[in-house]
Structure formats: structure tokens, C-alpha cells
Amino acid sequence: MRFPTKQESQLRNEVAILQNLHHPGIVNLECMFETPERVFVVMEKLHGDMLEMILSSEKSKLPERLTKFLVTQILVALRHLHFKNIVHCDLKPENVLLASAEPFPQVKLCDFGFARIIGEKSFRRSVVGTPAYLAPEVLRSKGYNRSLDMWSVGVIVYVSLSGTFPFNEDEDINDQIQNAAFMYPSNPWKDISGEATDLINNLLQVKMRKRYSVDKSLSHPWLQDYQTWLDLREFETRRGERYITHESDDARWEEHADERNLHYPKHFIMAPNLDDMEEDPYKGAARPSSPADSQRIYPKWHPIPYIEHYF
């Protein structure tokens, strides 16, 4: 009898999880077969990864516009995982694959060897992940939950924009987080928006209950940006599949563009389907609490409904 090695155990864990995942933002498992000596797993062929993109970019960092485009896709894929009570546990740029060499490519999460099934209010204690991207609760061998992935997203955003890691591993994370001059030195952060650092700060929260969730991150002003929405819609239009943005926000962004005399691509305008129209446009969604809310620069974001065939 052959006892599984740690590596083989992780591989089988990855296969078991991927067999139940079907989403455009998650790498597709083609097949698996094994011989007495080997286990073979065949994944879809992709182009490269986010780390390679960062390292090959000017000054080894990404512009905000591209980072927003990539991070939104990561969050949409994470939302699908967390809905199914799956926590990736090893999110990092190397595990964010690129589907093409396009300037604004599709991304897919991969490497689910450390992934765990964790309920919304459950905790795990097993050792997982890569230290530089791990939340404090894991490094201190405390219980962790899906918010672990959100800390990793914060590190990914930080690394993408600055080309550096936010923390020194041999120093206390609490002390480093409270030292803004250490966390955000003027070079390069003076050229990066305050909205970006605000999202990072809300993701790199030592207390799990204060850490932003996927939906809170997607609704953050840094990602609720007209140019980002245009980039994502152009991508979805080229792909012929809509899974990142949602039609419930179209009218809002069209009005946003009209009020500011911004270009709104005509091919984004779709004739309404009378059979699908509701009497109350805010039915099932948050209604603006005051006139000021409806006049804010960024239209109010609504959580995107799940699409049945991705389950």
C-alpha cells in the first residue's frame, strides 16, 4: 500500500475542490489520472501569472487602473468560493493566472492545495499558505476563517501598487500597521490615491471582525470607478459573457457619464426586456437613504446575483 505524501495529499485536496467549482474566474480542471507511481492532473492552458506581470512592468509595479481591473476579478472569484464555504488559504500573485497576453487580461485563481471548507462562522487551525501573505491569526496559530483570504487580497493590492511587501516578517505586525510612515513611505505612495490606501487599510485589519469582506471591498470607492467599470464591460463584451459586472448597475453608470459629459459606449446600451422589468427599480436592493446618496460621485453598488450555471 502506498501512503500519500504531503504533496500528493495537497494535490488530491485541490482536485476534490476543483471538481466542484465551475466559474470563469477559477482555473478549470480538465482531467486527472494516475499510475502506480504518479498522479497526473491536467489544467486548462493559460498564459502566465500576476507575479510575472508585476515583475515585468515598469519599476516592478502596476498602475492603479490595471490593478483595479485585476483585483475586481479576484474578488468576484473569491465571492464564489466563499459562497460555497471554500477558503483559498494561499492567495498570492503567483496563484492568480492570466488567460492571455492582453494588456487587460482575464485572471483565474489556481493552486487550491491549501484550500479548506470553512463555514461562515466556523474556524480552522491547520497550517496553511505562504507566510508573506498570511494573516496574523494564522501566523500565531489561532483559529482562522474566510477573512484570511481578505488579508491576502490586501497584501496583493499593496504589492501590485508598490512592488514591495507591506511587512517585515521579523517585526510585530501590529507595530508596523500603526506606523503609517513605515507602511506608506512617500516613494511610491505619494503617487497612489488615498482611496487605494484606504481599501488596503480596511483589508489589513488585525482583528478579523473589522476586516473587509468581499462585498464591502467590491463596494469600496476605489473599485467603484467609472473607468474600471468601462474596462470590465469592454472585457466582458469581448468575451461574450457577463460575470463580473451586473446589468442592475448599467443605468446608474450611464447617468453618471451623462451628468459629467463622459463618453458612454453605445454598444453597452441594451434595449430593456419588458418581461424582466420590475415596478420598483430598487426591489431587492438598497434604496438611497437621502438625496445626497443618489448624488455621490460613485453610483451605489449592489451585490451581483449569482448565476445558476456556475454552481
The range of the structural domain enclosing residue 13 comes to 6-43
Written as tens digits, the pLDDT of the chain (311 aa) is 454 677 777 788 888 888 889 999 999 989 888 888 888 888 898 999 999 999 999 899 999 999 999 999 999 999 999 999 999 989 999 999 999 999 999 999 999 988 888 754 444 444 456 677 877 776 665 667 789 999 999 999 999 999 999 987 677 777 777 666 678 999 999 999 999 999 999 999 989 999 999 999 999 999 999 999 999 999 999 999 999 999 999 999 999 999 999 999 988 875 454 454 444 443 444 444 443 433 334 444 444 444 333 43
Q: Are 197 and 189 in contact (CB under 8 A)?
A: yes
CA-to-CA distance for 193 and 153, rounded, in angstroms? 17
Q: Are residues 111 and 174 in the same domain?
A: yes
Q: Are residues 35 and 175 in the same domain?
A: no
Active-site positions? Answer: 90
Q: What share of the chain is helix, strand, coil (3-state, %, to 5)?
A: 45, 10, 45
Q: Are residues 37 and 78 in the same domain?
A: no
CA-to-CA distance for 308 and 311, rounded, in angstroms? 6
Q: Are residues 61 and 194 in the same domain?
A: yes
- Helix or strand or coil: residue 149? helix
Q: Are residues 36 and 164 in the same domain?
A: no
Q: Are residues 36 and 56 in the same domain?
A: no
CA-to-CA distance for 133 and 151, rounded, in angstroms? 8
Residue 92 CB burial class (10 angstroms; 0-12, 13-18, ≥19): buried
CA-to-CA distance for 140 and 91, rounded, in angstroms? 18
Q: Are residues 135 and 34 in the same domain?
A: no
Q: Are residues 106 and 181 in the same domain?
A: yes
Query: Quick one: how many helices (H) and strands (E) in the chain?
Result: 13, 7
Q: Does the predicted TM-score (pTM) go above 0.75? A: yes
- For the chain, the domain total comes to 2
